Structure 1
Amino acid sequence: MRYTLPAVAIIAAALGTAAIAAPQMGSVSQDLKDAVAAPTRNPANTPRDKYRHPAETLAFFGVKPTDAVVELWPGGGWYTEILAPYLKKGRGTLWAAAPWPDGIKGAQNLRFKDSPTYGEVAFAAFPVWNEGEPKIRDNSVDVVLTFRNVHNWRMGYQRPDKQDYAPEAFKQAFAMLKPGGTLGIVDHRLPENASAERERTSGYIKTSTIKKLAADAGFKLVGESEINANPRDSADWASGVWTLPPTYRLKDVDRAKYEAIGESDRMTLKFRKPG
């Protein structure tokens, strides 16, 4: 199953206009719409919805409010702010998992317990590298999600030796999912003809690389979407994906140009654990 970017977005790119058309696909529930509109979201985060399409993305992954969901590497909690109220409505469960203990602090700072909009959020290590770190039980969750992180694992980010640990990360994600569970991935898309070195340094990653990592771990690809595609992004920036918003690594140099391009071109892939 593959969803394509609407023609209106492609035409807009050809004309060089700044606006990115919102993709149309499937049915987005009222519960998802309410979660995206939750007043507890950081107002600084909502302008990025036009690039990240959270409601459409979560609908594509099939996340239900009754699910047990793990968000891998939530960072500052951009998606966590949406998942927490959404899962509370259905009495689902949300885990935030990242390198322990420092990697989880951004999500912990959202102070979920202080807001009636949020449900309980549990925290765990991912990947589990050391004995005694809190681990999500094997075969215990319905959905595992990660947004713009596989390239970090490939680049060895958060490891002192900078070695690629993506295969181990996929193996651990596979283990925590129930049979039939879903792995949803969004990441910065590197053209397939780019060099292996670009994949290790640019912040982009090839779709084929993620598919192979998933297959090697035992996952089956069940869907691809162009929800988060951006045809304006050439993915060949000397300073990598961080050239584009929201990072603007070059600061004020050509800032208007990069603002007009918008956030990166992204793949959106849905995998399933067999059984």
Structure 2
Amino acid sequence: MKPALLALTLTALLAPVLAQAADTKPVSAEQYAEVLKGSWRAPQNVVRDVYRHPQQSLQFFGLGPNQTVIEITPGSGWYSELLAPLLKDHGNYIAAVQAPTVSDYARKNEETLKAKFATAPAQYAKAQVVEFDPKAPVLGKPGSADTVLTFRNVHNWVLADTAPLMFESFFKVLKPGGVLGVVDHRAKDGASLDEIKHSGYLPTAYVVKLATDAGFKLEEKSEINANPKDTKDYPEGVWTLPPALTLGEKDKAKYVAIGESDRMTLRFVKPAK
């Protein structure tokens, strides 16, 4: 075979491999630094970085700039401020929100999120919002997402008895080999779900079971979002702590000193076969 023809053949054979390598390239430290200091971020959100460790969390979940990422119920868009800009050039950021007909809370969250996107088109122009019914969730075309992320939401689905359906929808929308990243408030070891679920905390083993029952494999746990100061025994559950501070001024300094909750950080994978 002539050298030129051989080179063309090798290029054609390697193209899919090179494309896959580009897809799996992680977000760089420089890219994280740029979005973390972004002028579009709300000041009240920036001060939460010290508790939520966004760069370390997204690195743990293997975020890549070429990925299609679905964030489940992003609320007012704390992580949207980071994910949408990181994915705007080569990837896709999709905010999956509960349909506004579900509740006034869902309607207000969607309105707030869309208003945020409208204020900074350079960062959010490509961001998409999709609505789902929590009792029959469909997040997109099956096998269309590289990563599904959810931050501090599982406890709400447990209370609404929709958690198994949600995890099944994550499994369906992910590609084989896709990643599910979960962060939520972590209960004390040995805690009974029925006894503590109204506190906002969940047993790690229960969350793992929700995912594995849906077909996922637990790949790794992380202590990135651990908080040993959190005693998990408050009058208003996890909402006693920042940022909610449900008790108002009562013992506020005490709860501010504790900081945000102790959290599990779990990475699951959808098996390739």
Do these two structures clear the TM 0.5 threshold for a shared fold by scoring above it? Answer: yes
Shift of 1:263: 0.4
Change (3 A) 1:182 1:134: closer
2:47 is matched with 47
The separation in 1 between residues aligned to 2:138 and 2:178, in whole angstroms, is 21
1:106 matched to 2:112? The reply is yes
Could you tell me the percent identity over the aligned residues?
A: 46
Q: Is the 8 A contact 1:72 1:126 kept in 2?
A: no
Letter of the aligned partner of 1:121 in structure 2?
A: A
1:77 is matched with 77
The separation in 2 between residues aligned to 1:273 and 1:77, in whole angstroms, is 26
Q: Which has the higher contact order (CA 8 A, sep 6+)?
A: 1
2:153 is matched with 149
Q: Is the 8 A contact 1:147 1:187 kept in 2?
A: yes
2:19 is matched with none
- C-alpha distance after superposition, 1:93-133 (max 9, x if no partner): 01101211225333212134742133411111244546xx9
- C-alpha distance after superposition, 1:172-205 (max 9, x if no partner): 0110001100000000001132232333200111
Change (3 A) 1:37 1:70: same
1:45 is paired with a residue whose SS is helix
Q: Is the 8 A contact 1:145 1:185 kept in 2?
A: yes
1:120 matched to 2:126? The reply is yes
The separation in 1 between residues aligned to 2:66 and 2:240, in whole angstroms, is 38
2:16 is matched with none
Q: Is the 8 A contact 1:127 1:169 kept in 2?
A: no
The separation in 1 between residues aligned to 2:82 and 2:149, in whole angstroms, is 13
Shift of 1:87: 0.6
1:111 is paired with a residue whose SS is helix
Change (3 A) 1:80 1:152: same
Give the total of aligned pairs: 240
1:203 is matched with 200
Letter of the aligned partner of 1:117 in structure 2?
A: Q
The separation in 1 between residues aligned to 2:127 and 2:260, in whole angstroms, is 28
Unaligned runs of 5+ in 2: 1-25, 101-106
Return 114-123 or 46-55, whichever deviates more. 114-123
The separation in 2 between residues aligned to 1:112 and 1:59, in whole angstroms, is 28
Post-superposition, which runs of at least 4 consecutive aligned residues in structure 1 deviate over 3 A? 126-130
**Residues 9-48 of structure 1 mapped to structure 2, 5 A cutoff:** 29-48=29-48
2:62 is matched with 62
Change (3 A) 1:219 1:144: same
2:124 is paired with a residue whose SS is coil
Letter of the aligned partner of 2:140 in structure 1?
A: I
The separation in 2 between residues aligned to 1:114 and 1:51, in whole angstroms, is 25
Aligned-residue CA RMSD (Å): 1.9
The separation in 2 between residues aligned to 1:246 and 1:229, in whole angstroms, is 16
Q: Is the 8 A contact 2:193 2:202 kept in 1?
A: no
Shift of 1:28: 5.8
Letter of the aligned partner of 1:155 in structure 2?
A: L
Change (3 A) 1:238 1:194: farther
**Residues 183-222 of structure 1 mapped to structure 2, 5 A cutoff:** 183-222=180-219
1:274 is paired with a residue whose SS is coil
1:120 is paired with a residue whose SS is coil
1:140 is matched with 144
TM-score after normalising by structure 2: 0.83
Letter of the aligned partner of 1:252 in structure 2?
A: E
- C-alpha distance after superposition, 1:232-269 (max 9, x if no partner): 00111121000000111111110000010000000100
Letter of the aligned partner of 2:159 in structure 1?
A: M
The separation in 2 between residues aligned to 1:209 and 1:30, in whole angstroms, is 37
2:254 is paired with a residue whose SS is helix
Letter of the aligned partner of 1:246 in structure 2?
A: P
Letter of the aligned partner of 1:122 in structure 2?
A: Q
Unaligned runs of 5+ in 1: 1-25, 157-163
Change (3 A) 1:28 1:269: farther
